[in-house]
Amino acid sequence: MRIHLLSYIMLASTVTLNAQNSFQEIFNEFSQSAISGYESFRDKCNSDYAAFLEASWKTFNACEPVPEPHEEQVPPVIFETPELDSVINNEPVINREVPVVEIIPSVEPVPQPQPVEPIKDTPVVAADEFEFSYLDMCLSVRAGDGLKFSLPSVKAGDISKTWKKLSGRGYDNLIVDCLSIRDKYALCDWAYLQMLKSFAVSFLGNGDSSTLLTAYLYAQSGYKVRLGTSYGHLYLLFGTKYVIYDKLYFQLDGSNFFVLDGDLNKMDIADCPYPGEKDMSFAISKEQMLGDNCMDSRHFESDRYAISSDCSVNTSLLEFYEGYPTAENNDNPLSRWAIYAETPVSRSVREELYPSLRETVRGKNALEAADMLLDFVQNAFEYGYDNEIWGNDRAFFAEETLYYPYCDCEDRSILFSHLVRDLLGLDVMLVYYPGHLATAVHFSEPVDGDYILINQRRYTICDPTFIGAPVGMTMPNMDNSHAKVILLGR
């Protein structure tokens, strides 16, 4: 065991500290070497990792939670009718550049983690199928009773021995099936971890055994994971560069580790990295193909352009979004809104809501079409304050704005940014003022009004909370000296 442990330490140090050698180079070197007793590089990683699990436990204190930012919300403003008439009558509009003090770059999408090496599917004559449910989806994986186990205790020796058992070939088909589910339903990293947990609890019951199985499947899929114990129970900690608000976390190896279930300020943790492990991302780059259970249709309309549309929302998607952690990236609290604005709108919404909106703007130029969509978001939705409705700040994904009866400035801006990008193909960015969020749109032709100049591209202000205001108008009393922009990559 000491030889295994030493070799793992050397391997882990090489992976994490030697920037000149990529992980793929290390893998290739191993593949070409003659190391007896192991069928694959992954086998050796698991063997060494199991040895490390028996010897590398230390006590860690958690970091204090980062509180979710709270600001005094700026109330909506109704655009005065005389000013509106002047705009309609083509009277001159003042062009004014809005200065910005900070530009938050868009987050480049990264590929999802993959196993340390491809896991081969093992053909069997009659595979035992296990069915389980996750967000109204009936899923099936190859996992018979022979794969069930019970963790004797959360002592290091028992965890290590059980990890060795899980590392056998018998669980490979299960891992293959879990990754296939991730790809088939386009599950983001958070959804994938929750799906693994749902399976493990259904398969083994809620307890330490299912926690270990979830951690094993998650690690074998390429994700950064740690195991921790406290008061006789085992916990899974997942690693990420993001910070989840109002939740204790542990800083290990340059990442933030959060306990999947619970908040603990002190734990014994096996701080051993698995080769090639990757952080969880909270970005959602693809539509989540969850169970399709739609609520009753809701009607939306705005009078100025006689826009009328109906839309229903997938309740499984709403349930998923309800439990999605609010997190920031790169130590910037404004980045949290980019997660909502970058998440694709669901197919059901695109098929039900978009056709009528697309018909409304048909034949219009980009400015006219954007003005119609802006008016739709300004007037078809009822404004409400988060602290009065939810008791705290709560941004909405687009589908949540279409479902819940009230929404605020950030929810409107996020929804409007989707409509403009999806229906008009124009670039949009979010514009932050203290206590308020708006948008700015890049038009290919010159557009009059307030604008922001970024990289020689002119983005014209569009405020979905300035009720009745056309494109180019900034809501009164906005502090332009502190304006910041959040670039969107999609």
Q: State pLDDT tens for residues 103-138.
A: 999 888 899 999 999 999 988 767 799 999 999 999
Mean pLDDT, residues 206-225: 98
The stretches of 361-462 forming alpha helices (DSSP H) are 366-379, 386-389, 398-403, 409-419
Torsion sign over Cα 18, 22, 27, 33 = negative
Residue 2 has pLDDT above 80, yes or no: no
Among left, alpha and beta (phi > 0; psi -120 to 50; other), residue 330 is: left
Under the banding of pLDDT at 50, 70 and 90, the label for residue 37 is low
Pairing of strands 255-259, 233-240: antiparallel
Quote the CA–CA distance of 292 and 348 in Å, as a whole number: 9
Cα dist. 80→93, 151, 350, 409 in Å? 15, 68, 33, 19
Quote the CA–CA distance of 41 and 35 in Å, as a whole number: 10
Pairing of strands 298-302, 250-252: unpaired
Q: What is the pTM assigned to this prediction?
A: 0.91
Under the banding of pLDDT at 50, 70 and 90, the label for residue 484 is very high
pLDDT tens across 428-448, in order? 999 999 989 999 999 999 899
What percentage of the chain has pLDDT greater than the value 90?
77
pLDDT at 34: 42
Torsion angle defined by CA atoms of residues 17, 22, 27 and 30, in that order, rounded to the nearest 10 degrees: -60
pLDDT at 98: 92
pLDDT at 388: 80
Q: What is the DSSP letter of 33?
A: S
pLDDT at 349: 95
Lowest mean pLDDT among 84-93, 205-214, 396-405: 84-93
Residue 72 has pLDDT above 50, yes or no: yes
Quote the CA–CA distance of 146 and 165 in Å, as a whole number: 12
Residue 16 has pLDDT above 90, yes or no: no
Pairing of strands 307-311, 298-302: antiparallel
Please give the structure tokens belonging to residue 192.
């994938």
